[in-house]
Amino acid sequence: MGKKALVFPILVLLCMFVSLSLHSLMRVDAVNGFPVHNISTGLSYSKIQEAIDANETLDGHTILVDVGTYDERLFINKSISLIGENRDSTIINWTGNFFDPMVDITASNVEVAGFSLLGWTFVKMSVSSCSNVTIRDNFVESGGQCIYLDSTSNCTIADNSLFARFGLEGNDLVVLDSCSRCLIKNNTINGACYDGMVLINSNNILICNNIISHNGYGIDFENFGSPNKENTIFHNNFEDNYRQISGGTSGYFYENFEGNYWSDYTGKDANQDGIGDTPYGEDLYPLMGAFQGFSVLDYSVQTICNSTISNFGSNGTAISFDVSGENGTDGFCRICIPTALLNATYIVYVNGTEVPYHLLPSSNSTQSYLYFTYHHSTQEVIIISEFPPFSLLSIFMLAPLIGVILHRNISYRSKKENRTYQRMKISGTP
């Protein structure tokens, strides 16, 4: 066997050795059966707090928690990432003192993600006097406050589902007290007896892409000597709150293009661009339908629609989704499509029938805004581009050339092998 023939099996064996070595370092739980793992050190523990407190656990480490129920109160005083294996089944259910926070964060540069926080404590997660804390992708249910930020800056609360225990008073699901430069994004905030979200003396807070529904007040601005200011609120859905917003003069709404959806807005949309013609309070550009954002093939596609949207997807040459609503009513959809995903002239089909659309003036070289209407039932929408994206077009153009090159190579090799065979035949070589 030649030297070149030995290279491939040697590389395969080397890759297998490296993979097995890394696996043994990352998953030592098979040795002791413990469910909490510091993947930075390879050590495992029986309790979450034990892993946090361990001398070997240092700033910058990541602790991974297996699926299970943990009856613990957590103190996070190190700059770590605490990650649950699955937010629906990695459960912290502490049953201690009602008024103590279940998760108490006092260190900067902390991430908590992938947990369900249940139990009956008044405050589920408290962040105090620190910065750069991320709380994401958690399910939190509370009879009091789900997340409380105090004197905190540069923090992110994203992709969480935050719910109140119905029938209990004192609910303020998200509270920001004396905070600055924080992002509240992509959360569901539902069912508070009092406020879905409270901002107290807080500045430069960006609130976007949240569903804020069935609360006493959707957002409440409270000022005690130091007013809220420069807080930006847009692309949120305010749905069926007793009062959608209070103290709105303390914040401001996105005033360049579009604002929020308000379920009790009664304005009209004469020019059919998905934006109301009259303000809703201080929101100068209220949305005519609920806002939704979808991530497909690493692109962000946004819709404003008065229908329920489901089964949203794209294969790179088309976008498809279902819309549904009360039979006999009229539906509309305004969709923002990145031109890098679908470019040029579009064709819109509803249940297989081509329908007209408006290309809105807000369209530019990077994004196309389409507006179209239909009658409600359950309809399938498909949007295609008459011309494929440049990347796909390049592949189509290169395909014939690649075919010619491959054909020539095969033909050349065939002729070369034939000449070699003829020489061997003449010389008598077997």
pLDDT tens across 106-164, in order?
999 999 999 999 988 889 999 999 999 999 999 999 888 999 999 999 999 999 999 98
What's the burial of 15, exposed, middle or buried (CB within 10 Å: 0-12/13-18/19+)? exposed
Would you say the pTM of this structure is higher than 0.95? Answer: no
pLDDT of residue 200: 92
The model's confidence at residue 247, banded by pLDDT at 50, 70 and 90, is confident
**What span, in angstroms and rounded, lies between the C-alpha atoms of 171 and 193?**
5
- 3-state class of 345 per DSSP? strand
Range 294-387: architecture per CATH: Sandwich (2.60)
CB neighbours of residue 424 within 10 Å: 11
The pLDDT tens digits of the residues spanning 342-394 come to 987 899 999 999 999 999 999 999 999 999 999 999 999 999 987 654 444 44
- 3-state class of 4 per DSSP? helix
- 3-state class of 423 per DSSP? helix
Distances (CA, A) of 284 to 131, 185, 243, 261, 292: 33, 21, 18, 12, 20
Asked if residues 163 and 186 have their Cβ atoms less than 8 Å apart, the reply is: no
Residue 16 in this model has a pLDDT that exceeds 60 = no
Tokens of 60: 């910058």
The pLDDT tens digits of the residues spanning 187-231 come to 999 999 899 999 999 999 999 999 999 999 999 988 765 567 788
Q: Residues spanned by CATH 2.60.40 within the chain? A: 294-387
pLDDT of residue 303: 97
- 3-state class of 18 per DSSP? helix
Buried b (16+ CB within 10 A) or exposed e, 284-318: bbbbbbbbbebeeeebebbbbbbbebeebebeeee
- 3-state class of 12 per DSSP? helix
pLDDT of residue 235: 95
Q: Report which DSSP code applies to 249.
A: G
